[in-house]
Structure 1
């Protein structure tokens, strides 16, 4: 096994696939104090300095262990001693979750990091995920019978509205990162929770992988190649048969969708459901499959309207010779997840006032008020679809208790509503239909990220 330090020239090669960068690049680095992120900090700092740029370290204190605050302060001092400015970001929800603590902490960590990037207009956020993490991710997903997309493990680049997430070390082993620190005389902090047997990844690290890391990485590489190909097919199919609307719904052309291969039709439907539901992930495969079988049983030219169905927090209704996918009002999340008040409403709509600032108070769901709405005022929203009550029932609503009104949506409601409410809503789901592609595949044997 290669245990040589990572050289600056090698790190430059690992960063090359993520180009172009600014003439003086600014990188935000997620640094925990562990060996992986400390090695990343040193390598990225040197890379940026040679290009006239700079780095900023972001240290997240989750508050899950008594030592967390002291370790965050210690890491900040270590970074400052090397000329790397650091900011400590604290996660302090009103109540920590009783279950799924690591998942909640991970979600909160990314939210804090990305929010900082947005506020400071930093385009690139680097994390220190490495080859051992990638092998573990593959093994954990294989144990859960994840589909081919999940078995591709982590993407080296993920596009977020706030910044793009880069993982340049995915082709580098932890042993080499350890050697990088040792060659520079640098110490690190080992987080005992990484080996905690209460968590699946901790148990895996204690017990060992069920297959060699090399085999796990090779398998992930194969599935990554399949995922890239599949994503291209899905994108083309969505362009052919799915029509999104600013009101937060998607119309599926039944004839075009039914003509797709069954496996591709399922993925397309799952993508649409995730978008309309404001979910981070698509619904379970078995539930989507049952919906696909019912929907594909409807003839291309159905003489009688088939019954609707509910999947993944969405209603799927037959309207105008196609399937209208709308949010199910009963599944709407009125409380923000993770204790964050600036989360999109129900994971779908960003609501802002006239001054552009986000509104989070007094926002309700329109469903109870749909029956007494004057629909003649809404005809221009989507005149080709006879489904406005179902669409509007899932919209955010503000106003007086006696007659609350759905918040105006640019491109979705006529202008007369804007004069009644000093607010507007924009459909910005967690999982957009046109998400960035999985990127890239890896040549682990060469230690180099390569495109297909």
Structure 2
């Protein structure tokens, strides 16, 4: 049985009145243990397993995952990745994005705003050490957050990723399922992958593992102070329904860097040092493309951040094709230009240029619902969670 300490921990992260959620479930020891703990939770509405189709045994593993879940009264929804061709490089990263794309699509279709994963403290230590090796900076050293809106963009657009056991060790989490035979992914033994090498190293160095977790906790506190700083920078801001942001002051480079991918509808952040180097020209009442599809303009009194119209035209050198394009709207939700989530009975969204900004027009629309993802990401940036989350921690 799951220890009382783990159950008490889960009760604070996922109380019974938590929003409805799906569980990311591989059938491995971590996700199987979390399913065992949440099997009777009223908020759990779907158990999702992704079959990447990269091994001959993957279909059999999906069936086994379903059999294990059935012991806890759950049917598993299997989502299958069909890559055009198997990735030759960056396999784990590409498989991760595909996994989140499939689960994000499912959650959006079924109006589940939260996806729960079984990431634990050992995963956190691995992540921090790997980010340090990459030179990710102090924000990267904070590691994963226990709750983050749109953690992988745009694959998880509209979805809050919840990691309720992030501070619990792998050993403590798996204690409840030792009698079962969880699926063991053979890639977890393949030392060609950096994460597996890191995992083996930390297993042999518990002192380094403890240091990584302590560093993560310190940097998480730094992120909270960072949010407070950005709230001061952005006081009295205005955000339009088309994602145009304005603020009555010139803000600093770190805040601009955090905002750029949000306004541009892309992943980020851009190069803070590059933005800092251009702040002088921006303060001289000029216009500056600050990266990730965001355009900044300062008129001496007000800073305006807008979606770069290059999104409609593409780059003249052909390096970047248009991304804000005319698109049909149907009953299945779609993420448009990384900035809006749309669903409806029919219609077309048409990008339109608004001076130095990309807006939109809905043509022939029937019962179209538009969720402003720019606003959701901005709230998550400033407050640490999506305002729709009723049990943020």
**Partner Cα distance (1:69, 1:116) in 2:** 20
Matched, 1:311 2:298: no
Structure 2 alignment gaps of length 5 or more: 151-156, 315-319, 327-331, 386-391
Q: 1:249 to 1:60 in 2, by over 3 A?
A: same
| Alignment partner of 1:12 out of 7, 32, 43 | 7
Change (3 A) 1:407 1:128: same
- Label 1:119 to 1:344 Cα distance change in 2 as closer, same or farther (>3 A): closer
Are the counterparts in 1 of residues 115 and 162 from structure 2 also a CA contact under 8 Å?
yes
2:124 maps to 1:134: yes
**CA spacing shift, 1:271–1:236, aligned 2, 3 Å:** same
Q: Tell me: CA distance 1:364–1:143, structure 2 relative to 1, closer, same or farther (3 Å).
A: farther
Distance in 2, matches of 1:351 and 1:166, equals: 23
Q: CA RMSD in A?
A: 3.4
Aligned match of 2:215: 219
- CA gap of 1:137–1:358, structure 2 versus 1, over 3 A, is farther
Q: Does the Cα contact within 8 Å between 1:235 and 1:434 map onto a contact in 2?
A: no
Question: Which of 344, 361, 380 is the matching residue for 1:407?
Answer: 361
Residue in 1 aligned with 2:271?
284
Structure 1 counterpart of 2:30 = 36
Q: Which has the larger radius of gyration?
A: 1
Instruction: List alignment gaps of at least 5 residues for structure 1.
Output: 259-264, 299-304, 371-387, 396-405, 409-417, 440-449
Asked whether the 8 Å contact 1:195–1:205 carries over to 2, the reply is no
Q: Does 1:90 align with 2:80?
A: yes
Corresponding residue number in structure 2 for 1:148? 138
Task: Assess, with a 3 A threshold, how the Cα gap between structure 1 residues 69 and 289 changes in structure 2: closer, same or farther.
Answer: farther
Out of 175, 184, 189, the residue aligned to residue 190 of structure 1 is: 184
Change (3 A) 1:308 1:118: closer
> SS where residue 73 of structure 1 aligns?
helix
1:174 is displaced (CA, Å) by 1.7
Change (3 A) 1:115 1:202: same
Distance 1:197 1:128 in 2: 22
Equivalences, count: 361
Distance 1:192 1:292, change over 3 A: farther
Q: Is the 8 A contact 1:270 1:283 kept in 2?
A: yes
TM-score by length of 1: 0.69
Report how far residue 108 of structure 1 moved.
2.7
1:171 equivalent in alignment to 2:167: yes
How far apart, CA to CA, are the structure 2 residues paired with 1:235 and 1:157?
19
TM-score by length of 2: 0.79
User: What is the CA-CA distance between 1:163 and the residue it aligns to?
Assistant: 4.9
Counterpart selection for 2:378 from 420, 433, 447: 433
Helix, strand or coil at the partner of 1:169? coil
CA distance in 2 between counterparts of 1:307 and 1:124 reads 38
